[in-house]
Structure formats: C-alpha cells, structure tokens
A and B are shown apart, each in its own frame.
Chain A
Amino acid sequence: MDALLIEQLRKVYPNGVEALKGIDLTVREGDFFALLGPNGAGKTTAIGIITSLVTKSSGRIEIFGHDIDREREKAKSLIGVVPQEVNLNMFERNYNTLVNQAGYYGVPPRVARARAEKYLKALHLWDRRDDIARNLSGGMKRRLMIARALVHEPKLLILDEPTAGVDIEIRRSMWDLMRDINASGVTIILTTHYLEEAESLCRNIAIIDEGRIIENDTMANVIGKLQREAFVLTLRERVSEAPALNGYTVRLRNEHEIEVEVAKEQGLNRMFEELSAQSLHVASMRTKTNRLEELFIRLVEGKHQGVAP
C-alpha cells in the first residue's frame, strides 16, 4: 500500500512564487524515504501541504488511501511530523506536551499518560519530564519533538531536517533512533541537507529542485547513476608532481596526496597497476566527496545545462 501518494501538486504563493510545479510522488508503506533538495526547492512547502499547514493551489494527496481533502481527519490522524523549526511550547512541562498532543489526536487520557511515559523513556527524556522545554538543550528539544510526533503512534512519520544544527555525536545517535522507529513498522519520510544522512538511512529517494522532482528512484539506482567519481589517494612516497596515469585525470593535492577522477567503466585495478609500475604505493584512499552530494550537484547542474549526470 502507498503510505503517501502525491499527484500534480502545485503551490503558488500570493506573491506569485510557484514553489511546487506539479509534483508526483509515491512512498510505499514501511519505506525510509529521502526527500532532498537545496534551500527553497519546495521540500518544506510539500511537507506543509501534507500536514495541512500550507494550502495547496491544486493537486491531490492521499495518506494510506485517505484523501487529505475528503477524509481530512482520518488522513491527519495517520501522520506524525517533526518540523524543521522548533515549535514547542517553551513553558509547558515536557510530560504535558506529550499528553496534550495525544489528546489532540483523541487518545484517551489514561493511554496518553502511558504513551507519554513510554516515549519520554524511549527518547531518554523521562528524567526531564517535569522540566519545561525552554530548559532543554538543542538535541533534547529535537528528541522531545520526535517523542511528540510519535505519541499518537502514527503510521507515517515526516522528519523535516531533524538533525539540522546538532553535533555529529547526536546526529549519529538520532540515525540509530530513526532506524529503530522505521524497523518498528513506521514509514519515514526524511528531508535533510546532509546527503550522507540520506545515503546512510534511506532506501528510496526523490530530489526536488525549483519545485520539480528531478530524480525519483531507489538509493542504489541513484548512486549507480554516477558516471565519474573522484578519489583522494595518500601515497607513501613523496611526489613533486602528479603522476601520469593513462586514461585517468590526476591532480596533485600536496606532496603525499593525489586526486584521481575515475570513470564508471574504468574501474580501479588499472590505476593501482600503473601506480605500482611507477613504484608508488597507496597508503590509504577515500572518496573526495560524498557520492550523493556529487550526484546532486551534477543533477542540478545538468538540469540547467542539459547534461546527463
């Protein structure tokens, strides 16, 4: 079943800006789906429309088969959302924030209290239950928003830049958390600036730019579309100029590092053979940039120049 179905979704703001130019999107139940795009691409507008915070100009949206116009309440009760911007009541007790949210979805008070305890414990905020949101750290506020989004036990969880502005340690912990939530059967749609995050977590991906979906495929297929990839090689030997490697583009980074651009059909074996032939030994190797980031840039640039990725 489709957790989310979007057909020809358009949004024109009163100032004339067309934020969405008729997008189509399908997210299957149980998926961990990435929605990527630069600032202003239309991601947050799309999420705003799905969650009823933005009015669409035209198009159709279904949540688990329920049309958001015709079956508004049913559709909304299936969604949990963690917005990009912190939107907590800063002066409310954290425990009450969850109990209230459950109440807004019609969860009876006894069950709401049990769920508030469960999710505050799961998100490691139970010992801060009597505190107010204002006194929490940035990472804790994000976790409280995730707990709040889960308290009515939605089938579709939308996370809009959930790790924006949090440090690497917190981000990694939140990745584990999101994997667990998805493994428990909740469909997740994730928007993020961190392409590494999407590559690590998501099975399917859509890339949105200037209000249009420019790529929508499995993560594996999208990564597979990369025609060239750049590697940084650290050499044991000191070199004063970039070694010539037949068929490869090589650039000297410093006296121990070179950068080699490898086309998909070339492979790496011949590169190592040529380096060995020149008595150069590779101590370590890494990709120059995140692969998805590379692809993203090429897709966006390619779209403007009519070039394939």
Chain B
Amino acid sequence: MSDLGRTAPEDFAPVGDRPPASLLMINAIGLSTIVKKEVRRVLRIWLQTIVPPAITMTLYFIIFGSLIGRRVGDMEGVPYTTFIAPGLIMMSVITNSFGNVVSSFFSGKLQLHLEEMLVSPLSYVTIVLGYVAGGVVRGVLVGALVTVVAMFFTDIYVVHPLTTLVTVLLTAVIFSVAGLINAIFARTFDDITIIPTFLLTPLTYLGGVFFSISLLSPFWQKVALANPILYMVNAFRYGMLGKSDVDVGTAYAIIVAGVAVMFATALYLLHRGTGIRH
C-alpha cells in the first residue's frame, strides 16, 4: 500500500459524541440519512429517473391527446385530452415510485451494500419508511413534471386540491412499498421486471387511465372494479376534474387499506428475513 503511511493508535481514539442512546434519536437520524441518500440518488441519475417518463408522457399527450383525442371528442363531459391528463399523471406516479424503490433496494441487495443498514441498529420500520420516502419523492417529482407537460396540451385545473394531493401521496406510498416487496423477493434482474411488465402495466392501462368504465359492458365493468388501480386513478381524477367512475369514499377505503396491507407485508417479510438474511 504505497500510499498508506503509518498510522498511530491516537488516529483511532474516539472523538465527538458517542452514538445517542435513544432509539428514537437513532431512527430519526437514520431515517433522514436514508431519505437524503435516496433523494440524492434520484437527482444524481435524473437522466434515468426524471427525464424518460416526461418524454414518454409527452408522446402520450401528442398521440392520444392531440391526434386521436380530437376525433374522440368529449369523455364524461370534458375534452378527451383533459380526461386522460389525471390518468397519465397517476400512471407516471405509479410506475416511478415502484421503479425507484425496486431498483434501489434490489441494487443494494445485489451489490451487498444493503448490509450497511442491516448491520446497523435501525429498525425495519425506519428502513421501509426511508426507501418509501425516496419512491414518493421520485413519483411526485415526475408527476409534477408530467402535470407541467399536460399544461401544454390542455387546460389543467384542480377542483379538490386536498383530495388530489392526498391521493397522489398515498398512491405513491402504496407502489413504493410494492416495489420494496418485489425487491425483497427478487434474486435476479428478471425478477424485478416481471411484476412491472406482466402485472403493473396491464393493471394501469386497464385502470381507467384512457377511458371511463361506463364505456364497458356491465360484465367488464364488474371485472374492472376488481382492479385497485382504477380506484386510485378515479380518486385522483375526482380531485382534479371533479369526475369519477367509482364512489370516492370506497376508493379512499381501498387506498388506505392498500397502504396498511403493503406496509404490514413489507415489515413481516423483513422481520422474517425473507430475501435479506440466510
């Protein structure tokens, strides 16, 4: 080690405060550390995390909104481009919050640096909250960018601001935790693409992003109601446009239950050591 000169025992004598004894303090500082790390990651690789979804959504607005939308006319009493705007914003929130956590947590597993957290005194709740915060930040950032893009194609307005904000945050939380659960089980890169490709994308496309379920036959309407993403998209559309295919109260009950079930599942898996401990 030619560049490693001699050290002395004094070099390793403790300085500064000892680690705080309070568990609350450890977890508060730990949570803020994970959040900062995750947000730094999102911003560091902004060309992968922020820009592509904005380009994709711009294309959706051009093709489905401006070109095809003109021929479709109105849907549920609003121009088609305006109708799909909340759906496209939610679609980007869902895919980006999921994608952020699944790739960050899985790369930590793959490169083994997840062990940095696992050997520390941090609670699993803190670890989950930290990763989820990163997913929510990316989801909301991309959602905001898509909203700005939408403004170039249609009039954007918000009828119920609080409903809109709470829906987008809770949806981002659900899919951030879902991404974490996917990453917990994943062993290979294939495993982190299967769920988005074969489950998330179909459910999102069929979740009322591009159409009102009133266009479907009664049978397919009932089938569509089994898709949880439909409730999130419609709750958000209600917040923005004041229009929804489903009862907003039911939608909120499903969203809140989704948050609880996802968190409980993630914590159960981490406590069991699934995918992270031998």
- Write the chain A residue with the least CB distance to B28: A106
Give CA–CA (A94, B118) in the complex, Å: 19
- Write the chain B residue with the least CB distance to A107: B19
Give CA–CA (A107, B15) in the complex, Å: 12
Tally of A-B residue pairs with Cβ under 8 A? 152
B residues 19-48 near A (Cβ < 8 Å) are 19-20, 22-23, 25-30, 32-34, 37, 40, 44
The contact size tier of chain B is 35 or more
Give CA–CA (A212, B159) in the complex, Å: 70
- Write the chain A residue with the least CB distance to B44: A91
Are A184 and B1 in touch, CB under 8 angstroms?
A: no
Verify if B119 is at the interface (C-beta below 8 Å from A).
yes
Q: Given A53-B278, A87-B111, are A115 and B16 neighbors across the interface (CB < 8 Å)?
A: yes
B residues 108-144 near A (Cβ < 8 Å) are 108, 111-113, 115-123
What residues of B have a CB within 8 angstroms of the CB of A184 in the complex? 9-13
- Write the chain B residue with the least CB distance to A79: B119
Are A186 and B111 in touch, CB under 8 angstroms?
A: no
What residues of B have a CB within 8 angstroms of the CB of A13 in the complex? 278
Main SS class of interface, B: loop
Write the A47-63 contact mask toward B (1 if CB under 8 angstroms, else 0).
Answer: 01001111100000000
Give CA–CA (A180, B6) in the complex, Å: 9
Are A104 and B116 in touch, CB under 8 angstroms?
A: yes
Q: Given A13-B278, A100-B37, are A106 and B118 neighbors across the interface (CB < 8 Å)?
A: no
- Write the chain B residue with the least CB distance to A154: B19
Verify if A251 is at the interface (C-beta below 8 Å from B).
no
What residues of A have a CB within 8 angstroms of the CB of B223 in the complex? none
Are A73 and B26 in touch, CB under 8 angstroms?
A: yes
Q: Which one, A76, A81, A89, A124, contacts B121 given CB within 8 A? A: A76
Are A53 and B17 in touch, CB under 8 angstroms?
A: no
Verify if B202 is at the interface (C-beta below 8 Å from A).
no
Q: Given A108-B17, A180-B11, are A51 and B29 neighbors across the interface (CB < 8 Å)?
A: no
Verify if B14 is at the interface (C-beta below 8 Å from A).
yes
Verify if A77 is at the interface (C-beta below 8 Å from B).
yes
Verify if A153 is at the interface (C-beta below 8 Å from B).
yes
What residues of A have a CB within 8 angstroms of the CB of B8 in the complex? 180
- Write the chain B residue with the least CB distance to A48: B278
Q: Given A54-B277, A109-B29, A139-B1, are A176 and B6 neighbors across the interface (CB < 8 Å)?
A: yes
Q: Which one, B10, B14, B113, B123, contacts A153 given CB within 8 A? A: B14
Verify if A264 is at the interface (C-beta below 8 Å from B).
no
Q: Which one, A54, A180, A181, contacts B278 given CB within 8 A? A: A54
- Write the chain A residue with the least CB distance to B121: A73
What residues of B have a CB within 8 angstroms of the CB of A109 in the complex? 29
Verify if B4 is at the interface (C-beta below 8 Å from A).
yes
What residues of A have a CB within 8 angstroms of the CB of B273 in the complex? 55
Are A53 and B115 in touch, CB under 8 angstroms?
A: yes
A residues 138-184 near B (Cβ < 8 Å) are 139, 143, 148, 150, 152-153, 166, 169-170, 173-174, 176-177, 180-181, 183-184
Are B16 and A114 in touch, CB under 8 angstroms?
A: yes
Give CA–CA (A54, B17) in the complex, Å: 30
Q: Given A81-B119, A122-B11, A177-B4, are A89 and B278 neighbors across the interface (CB < 8 Å)?
A: no
Which residue of A109, A123, A184 has the most chain B CB atoms within 10 A of its CB atom?
A184
What residues of A have a CB within 8 angstroms of the CB of B4 in the complex? 123-124, 139, 143, 170, 173-174, 177
Q: Which one, A88, A104, A183, A186, contacts B120 given CB within 8 A? A: A104
What residues of B have a CB within 8 angstroms of the CB of A148 in the complex? 116
Give CA–CA (A83, B119) in the complex, Å: 11
Which residue of B3, B25, B113, B119 has the most chain A CB atoms within 10 A of its CB atom?
B119
Give CA–CA (A139, B3) in the complex, Å: 10
Are A106 and B1 in touch, CB under 8 angstroms?
A: no
Give CA–CA (A121, B10) in the complex, Å: 13
Q: Which one, A52, A99, A122, A124, contacts B277 given CB within 8 A? A: A52
A73-B23, A109-B29, A177-B4 are known; give 13 further A-B pairs, CB within 8 A.
Answer: A73-B121, A73-B123, A87-B115, A99-B33, A106-B25, A107-B29, A114-B15, A123-B7, A124-B4, A180-B7, A180-B11, A181-B12, A186-B12
| Contact surface of A with B, Cβ cutoff 8 Å | 13, 48, 51-55, 72-74, 76-77, 79, 81, 83, 85-92, 96, 99-101, 103-109, 111, 114-115, 118, 121-124, 139, 143, 148, 150, 152-153, 166, 169-170, 173-174, 176-177, 180-181, 183-186
The 5 closest A-B pairs by CB, nearest first: A103-B33, A106-B26, A87-B112, A183-B9, A73-B121
**Interface CB pairs A-B, < 8 A, 23:** A52-B119, A53-B278, A73-B23, A73-B123, A74-B121, A83-B115, A87-B111, A87-B112, A104-B117, A104-B120, A105-B19, A106-B22, A106-B25, A111-B16, A118-B11, A139-B1, A139-B4, A153-B16, A153-B18, A153-B19, A166-B1, A170-B4, A181-B9
